[in-house]
């Protein structure tokens, strides 16, 4: 997969969604829902940066390609599930969507733990 390109797209999207929240939603969301939006952008941005870095570890020979692919997939899934559910929650106020959010968080945690173990094992 072209994970670096996907990461770059996700980073551009995070900047755009952050700007949209700051300028387009500030008069439409209450403080609680704006906080949810901001948290979604923050986690989206940090994990997209991680997604940008993981393929570089593989290119440097610090990770097997297969591990980098799995870690990247987990980070991508985390952004979709965690941040995506929070974006929708902030916009709609439908709290049942919050059921999806922890699965994104688990994907994030799994990705970082997988990365740690893979880096400790080396190539």
Torsion of CA 31, 41, 46, 65, to 10 degrees: 150
Joined tokens for residue 68:
């980098």
Q: How many domains does the chain have?
A: 1
Torsion of CA 48, 54, 60, 61, to 10 degrees: -170
pTM for the model stands at: 0.93
Among the ranges given (88-92, 109-113, 119-123), the one the predictor scored with the smallest mean pLDDT: 119-123
pLDDT (0 to 100) of residue 122? 74
Per-residue confidence at 107, pLDDT binned at 50, 70, 90?
Answer: very high
pLDDT (0 to 100) of residue 97? 82
pLDDT (0 to 100) of residue 98? 83
Convert the pLDDT of each residue in 20-74 to its tens digit. Answer: 999 999 889 999 999 999 999 999 999 999 999 999 999 999 999 999 999 999 9
For tokens 């797209």, the residue is 9
pLDDT (0 to 100) of residue 23? 93
Range of the domain at 13: 3-121
Q: Is pLDDT at 91 greater than 90 in this prediction?
A: yes
Q: Is pLDDT at 96 greater than 70 in this prediction?
A: yes
């Amino acid at each position: 997969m072209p994970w670096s390109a996907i990461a770059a797209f996700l980073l551009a999207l995070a900047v755009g969604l952050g700007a949209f929240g700051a300028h387009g939603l500030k008069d439409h969301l209450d403080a609680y829902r704006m906080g949810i939006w901001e948290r979604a952008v923050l986690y989206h941005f940090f994990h997209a940066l991680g997604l940008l870095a993981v393929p570089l570890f593989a290119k440097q020979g610090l990770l097997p390609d297969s591990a980098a692919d799995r870690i990247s997939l987990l980070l991508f899934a985390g952004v979709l599930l965690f941040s995506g559910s929070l974006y929708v929650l902030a916009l709609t106020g439908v709290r049942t969507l919050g059921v999806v959010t922890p699965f994104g968080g688990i994907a994030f945690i799994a990705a970082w733990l997988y990365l740690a173990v893979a880096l400790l094992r080396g190539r």
